[in-house]
Amino acid sequence: MTTMKTTTTTTTLRTTLFALLTLLLSLPVFAANYEETMKTNLQKMGEAKTLADYTALAAQFERIANAEKDKWQPGYYAVLCYLNAVTMLQLNEDEKSAQLDKAQPIMDNLKKNFKNESEVFALQGFLYEMRIMGMASAMKYSSLATEVLEEAEKLNPANPRIYYLQGMNIFHTPKAFGGGKEKAKPLFEKAAALFESAKPVTALDPTWGAEYNKKMVEQCNTTNE
């Protein structure tokens, strides 16, 4: 009887040790696959041309986010796919709203789980700005964008995307309400300087915005409104 118990205990211990060893050995592989998959999807994101492309990529990033709950980048890029669809494609207002509606729950999850990540709050500012589709929505979402971008700035004042997005918000606000290119220009110029010195913490951190910002500086330097 004792021999049977000892044998069973030994077998259980060996099985447990084998499982732990397998897990430990697999961790670097999972990490490598994660980064490789993310980089592949980011490359595809840069090549996306249709709504179907952006939607499929967003779904892929969201699946990665569900598996890698301690990482903010997959969810971030899922949201950015929807935002790129809105900004890059010729969509009507209903289609734009549908994409933004898909992005917001992912955004909410990011804000809940990564409260100290500046890029997350800057992205929410971008999403709010994309909600502005006329005077009826301008006051609400312009104010919300202002608030959340201020939060992003508190978390990381060296994040250039904050000032680019603040500049965009002010640029598209009528002069009568405190906007216009003269007030937006210093923000774009600040963003330009920060884009020059920005160094991503990891290879998967956001780097977008410099080219768009450059075009906005050029627009602010034109003589006509």
pTM, to two decimals: 0.84
Q: Give me the phi and psi of 115, to 5 degrees please.
A: -70, -15
- Per the structure, the count of domains in the chain is 2
pLDDT in tens, the chain (225 residues): 544 444 445 545 554 454 444 444 434 434 569 999 999 999 999 999 999 999 999 999 999 999 999 999 999 999 999 999 999 999 999 999 999 999 999 999 999 999 999 999 999 999 999 999 988 899 999 999 999 999 999 999 999 999 999 999 999 999 988 999 999 999 999 999 999 999 999 999 999 999 999 999 999 998 664
Minimal CA–CA distance to 191: which of 170, 162, 223, 156? 162
Which of 114, 141, 156 is where one domain is finished? Answer: 114
- 225 and 120 both lie in a single domain: yes
180 within domain boundaries: yes
Helices (H), the chain: 2-47, 51-67, 73-88, 93-113, 118-130, 135-155, 160-171, 181-197, 210-220
- 75 and 132 both lie in a single domain: no
Distance CA 91, CA 100 (A): 12
- By the 8 A CB rule, do 73 and 38 touch? yes
142 within domain boundaries: yes
Q: What is the pLDDT of residue 31?
A: 53
49 within domain boundaries: yes
97 within domain boundaries: yes
Distance CA 167, CA 161 (A): 10
Q: What is the pLDDT of residue 20?
A: 47
- 97 and 121 both lie in a single domain: no
CATH code for the domain of 191: 1.25.40
- 135 and 217 both lie in a single domain: yes
- 124 and 221 both lie in a single domain: yes
104 within domain boundaries: yes
Range of the domain at 120: 116-225
- 184 and 158 both lie in a single domain: yes
